Structure 1
Amino acid sequence: MSEMENVSVTAIPEGARILDVREDYEWEAGHAPGALHIPLDQLPERLDDLDPDTDLAVICRSGGRSARAAQWLEAHGYSAVNVTGGMGAWLEAGQPMVSDNGKEPTVV
């Protein structure tokens, strides 16, 4: 298997689609604007939701689940990088966030 690429939140490739693989409650609390949400355990059956020609920056809370997802996607012919530090690093870097629960966006 090829080496998966890890990128920091500030080095996400221009034009990359952010794929958030966290659980629903985590997504609702806070996520990157415009990100696509597919929980890790739903990825195999929702693979058709992704465009194989789009570069994906895969993110979770801290980087573990997104690393597994990015490796799996790469093995299935998709272009994916793992976002190091996940949404925790996203928040620390002051990147924009939105929530779906009417509260101030946060990382849970």
Structure 2
Amino acid sequence: MVQSATDEATWISCKNLLTAARDRKLNTYVQISVAHPTEQSLTRYANTEVVEATRDPLFLTGVTFPSEYPIYEETKIKLTVYDVKDKSQETIEGDGHRGQSEYGSGVCHHD
């Protein structure tokens, strides 16, 4: 899902996100965080746009790590999906957390 060490972007998508109510559509975005080998904590790197009213969002905002950004083989990249209750205020529904994935920087996609 995330590509590093080049100026190329990779897009992110989700399928069959779970909701509390079956008929409810989600308004979701993905937060991308990075943990460098020398740091113990995650740093927010970027967010996608909010995709409305679907459980299968395709985010058109690409994630790019420019060549000058320090990405190492040991760098961890975490993608967290959130449900937004009110897009205009970007209020997160409940805990809002709908899923996450964590990758080493050598991984470019996840099936």
**TM-score range normalised by the length of the shorter chain:** under 0.3
Query: Higher Cα Rg: structure 1 or 2?
Result: 2
Judging by fraction of residues, say which structure has more strand: 2
Judging by fraction of residues, say which structure has more helix: 1
